[in-house]
A and B are shown apart, each in its own frame.
Chain A
Amino acid sequence: MILPLVILYVVTLVYLSITERFRTYASIIGLQGWILFGVALLRLHRIDLPELLFISVETLLFKTLLVPALLFAVIRRTHIHRVRTSGSSQFNALLLSVGAAAAAITLTAAMADGNIDRVFFGVALYAVLSGLILIVVRSRIFSHMVGFLVIENGVFLFSMAVGTEMPFLINVAILLDIMISVLMLGIFFMRIGNKLHADDADSLTNVKD
């Protein structure tokens, strides 16, 4: 049962590189939240109740409901819709994503170790690389935010690859990261964005004096 969920997760990562609208980004983050919730439930049914409750709350509440809602709100407030300002194709972004997948597979095969679960390790590595590509290649700040959220989801999967117990500290750290980044995005767009009218990282170079 976990296999279809993992495959769906990888497919969402591939689609992340070819979408053209920000609403799709927000939907994909929400879908990834649901998938992680399902994976967490299926993997952690053995351990005790408080930790299970904490994980479910974390994934269900934050990743699935709160974060996408916030992203949709930002989109509505700032009326930004398109990922790229030009109309050209996303072919190169997709090629980069496929290259990252190949790199993740090669690295996982090279690091074949008995302790880690190789499938989760590979998928998590691909997620982290995908998020990095989003941050590096795209110029709009919203895309950077989405890339950061994808990296956080990847780190969540890494913690699952290591073992069946979920270190409490890691999960708290992840939650904190997510909250602070969403907060920063909100502040930026709601307050500063009105004054500067800039949501493109390239045009932010005007700010420095």
Chain B
Amino acid sequence: MFPYLLTALAAVAAAIFGAPLRAKAWVALAVVAAASAWAGSTAIGVLADGAPRILWQADGFLLGGGGGSMDTLSALFVLLISLGSVASVLYSHGYLAHSLAEKSPAHVSLHYTALTVMALSMLGVATSDGGYTFLFFWELMTIASFLLILYDAERRETVRAALAYLIMMHIGFVLLVAGFATLDRACGSADFAALAGYFAGRNPLPLFLVFLLGFGMKAGLFPMHVWLPQAHPAAPSHVSALMSGVMIKTGIYGILRVTAQLADLPALRTAGLILLGCGIATGLWGILLASAQNDIKRLLAYSSIENVGVILIGAGVGTLGLAAGNDTVAACGLCGALLHTFNHSLFKSLLFFGAGNVLTQTRTLSLDALGGLGKHMPVSALLFLAGAAAICALPPLNGFVSELLIYLGLLDGIAAGSGVPAAAAGLAALALIGGLAVLTFTKLYGTVFLGAPRTHEVAESTEVDRVRIAAMALPLAGILLVGLFPQAALDLVVRAAGALAPEAARGTASLPPVMTAVCRTAWLLIAVTGLLYAVKSRAQRRRIRRTGPTWGCGFTAPNVRMQYTGESFAEGLQSVAASVAPRSGEGRAVDKSELFPAAHNFDAEHKDRIDALFAAWWVEMLRRINRQMMRLRTGKVNHYVLFALLFLVTVFLLSVFNLIR
């Protein structure tokens, strides 16, 4: 198996390196599309009949055997990965077209090879049975994404972000290796299925926590999320879309697999509470920091962290329902979490593609420089609006359906009287997160696409090419399908949840009527709105319509820089949440005594406290160690002779006492 894999990778690399510069994207797309088509069709087959399928069985694969199979949960994630990868590679053709002239062909080939390898390794992660094959594909995914981030390696902050990413991913990797090694030593096999036996025998919580931390590092759990807001702005937009939309979900996949093995144990309730608590903390932290950002990609990165929190709230609720024996709550929670995973990959990819459009057309991502792009890039603006409305969970789009399922799990738990305090905390947190998401995304969309352009370079931008629009249309189709036909989506997700917990499938009996009613409400909303708009347009044709400047309250010289910026929009929230995202920066406001104010500069930045903690702690420790070491550097040669003598004596003594051989 391993030699086949290597030859396949070599063939792909050769094909991409050999292709002409303009065609590299199409070669990569062909490979990824072929792999996705095969995986996708297998996944649809598995979901249709519900029976798991064995994909490969390798006995000599690295350390010990390993196999790959696809059950309904893997099938859902494989579908997610296929859609995300194809859209991302399709988008990269138009996105990288302008920079192909600046990079060497080898650089571009390496990038496309890494893109292909990443897509294939993510498919491998979702289908491995566990153990060392899983870890092999996981590491391959990390290395491929590291290479992908380094596309703009001539910039210093890109290299720094990529190195920080690599270090944190390997910390998570070490935790996962420790977890799988413990499992292997205790049960003889490192597959996921062996976890059930391990958990039944001894205290499951330590190993569960190790796996949660390891997978949570990839998923972006609080407080291990610090790599996300650094890596996403540094990477090209299609890579950010792939990482945020698809790669993070592999972490969620791991967490769900491990939690599913805890079934029927008293520790399931503790695990559920841990997941719910982590979800609440991650969600709140993510959205509070997202509302403070003034760079499009950093804002979207923090929003991904918030959505991971929402997914974990759903998983926690489902687990608590399983522990309490309440099938409806378990079904709603788990189905909601899985559907939100799928939905998030759709709308986050769409939003990152939109950000990429803005970057290539205006060369800036700063909210303080953009504005009024809706008139120059109408199609991108409309697609971005759909993505923003979907991520705020507004009906009739798909975000609403998945969050409704999670809310239903919480409300059913409260109505049934089981786990009420936890459910109430989750409900309040989710409500607050939803409201703050509306604030964040109206800030983002309003400052970037609406109003008037704040700089003249932005006023001269144009719409993007049609291939990129087609790449954005793929997630949009998913958004509209799930939002307007939620019964089909529920069916899909129920089958996937059945692989996690069979009780979940039993508890979904009451859900299809809810989804039908949601579908009816969505269509009614669209019909009513359309009717009102049509009536208004017809009526206005018979009335006077004029054009006049925006009301300025008698102010004689308004200019575009007086519009509300991103920072001022979120200022109300930041003044109460100042402890979470402290503001630092330079410049001072116009003083009351300054009667004829001169020009003032103002630069505000919101830092992440956890980021400072991580960086500060490591730097402080290294400084202290360094200070101790510096004492030995006296500068006199006779002291160094003494050190050499001491070293020889130590080695001699250790070998005499048989401590080293």
Interface residues of A, Cβ cutoff 8 Å to B = 88-89, 91-92, 105
Contact = CB atoms under 8 A, between A and B. Distances in A.
Interface string B567-589: 00000000110010000000000
A92 B577 CA distance: 9
A105 B422 CA distance: 13
7 tightest A-B CB contacts, nearest first: A91-B576, A89-B576, A89-B575, A92-B576, A92-B579, A88-B575, A105-B421
Interface in B558-610: 575-576, 579
Most buried by A among B575, B576, B579: B576
Interface of B: 421, 575-576, 579
Nearest to B578: A92
Contacts of B579: 92
A106 B579 CA distance: 25
A89 B572 CA distance: 11
B276 to A, nearest CB: 15
A42 B349 CA distance: 63
Contacts of B421: 105
A153 to B, nearest CB: 27
Nearest to B425: A102
A106 to B, nearest CB: 9
Contacts of A89: 575-576
Contacts of B575: 88-89
Contacts of B576: 89, 91-92
Nearest to B579: A92
Q: Is the interface of A mostly helix, strand, loop or mixed?
A: helix
Contacts of A92: 576, 579
A88 to B, nearest CB: 8
Contacts of A105: 421
Contacts of A91: 576
A88 B576 CA distance: 10
A76 B514 CA distance: 62
A105 B575 CA distance: 29
A91 B421 CA distance: 24
Nearest to A94: B576
A209 B579 CA distance: 36
Nearest to A88: B575
Contacts of A88: 575
A150 B575 CA distance: 30
B112 to A, nearest CB: 50
A88 B575 CA distance: 9
B646 to A, nearest CB: 54
A118 B579 CA distance: 34
B588 to A, nearest CB: 18
A91 B576 CA distance: 7
A91 B575 CA distance: 10
Nearest to A89: B576
A91 B574 CA distance: 12
A89 to B, nearest CB: 7
A105 B579 CA distance: 25
7 contacts: A88-B575, A89-B575, A89-B576, A91-B576, A92-B576, A92-B579, A105-B421
A91 B579 CA distance: 12
Nearest to B576: A91
B12 to A, nearest CB: 55
A172 B576 CA distance: 43
A149 B264 CA distance: 51
A187 B575 CA distance: 39
B284 to A, nearest CB: 12
A88 B572 CA distance: 12
B624 to A, nearest CB: 33
B465 to A, nearest CB: 48
A93 to B, nearest CB: 12
B348 to A, nearest CB: 31
B277 to A, nearest CB: 13
B439 to A, nearest CB: 16
A105 B425 CA distance: 13
A92 B578 CA distance: 10
A89 B576 CA distance: 8
Nearest to A95: B576
A92 B421 CA distance: 23
A47 to B, nearest CB: 36
A91 B577 CA distance: 9
B427 to A, nearest CB: 15
A207 to B, nearest CB: 32
A90 to B, nearest CB: 10
B429 to A, nearest CB: 13
A88 B574 CA distance: 13
A92 B579 CA distance: 10
A89 B577 CA distance: 12
A105 B421 CA distance: 10
B507 to A, nearest CB: 28
B294 to A, nearest CB: 23
A70 to B, nearest CB: 35
A91 B573 CA distance: 11
B238 to A, nearest CB: 41
A22 to B, nearest CB: 24
B444 to A, nearest CB: 25
B604 to A, nearest CB: 18
A196 to B, nearest CB: 32
B435 to A, nearest CB: 16
B625 to A, nearest CB: 38
A65 B82 CA distance: 75
A75 to B, nearest CB: 29
A110 B421 CA distance: 13
A118 to B, nearest CB: 14
A92 to B, nearest CB: 8
A96 B498 CA distance: 42
B485 to A, nearest CB: 41
A39 B421 CA distance: 28
B406 to A, nearest CB: 22
Nearest to A109: B421
A101 to B, nearest CB: 13
A194 to B, nearest CB: 34
A92 B576 CA distance: 7
A20 B593 CA distance: 29
A84 to B, nearest CB: 15
A92 B575 CA distance: 10
A81 B169 CA distance: 56
Nearest to B577: A91
B647 to A, nearest CB: 56
A42 B261 CA distance: 54
A92 B580 CA distance: 12
B495 to A, nearest CB: 39
A64 B20 CA distance: 90
A17 to B, nearest CB: 15
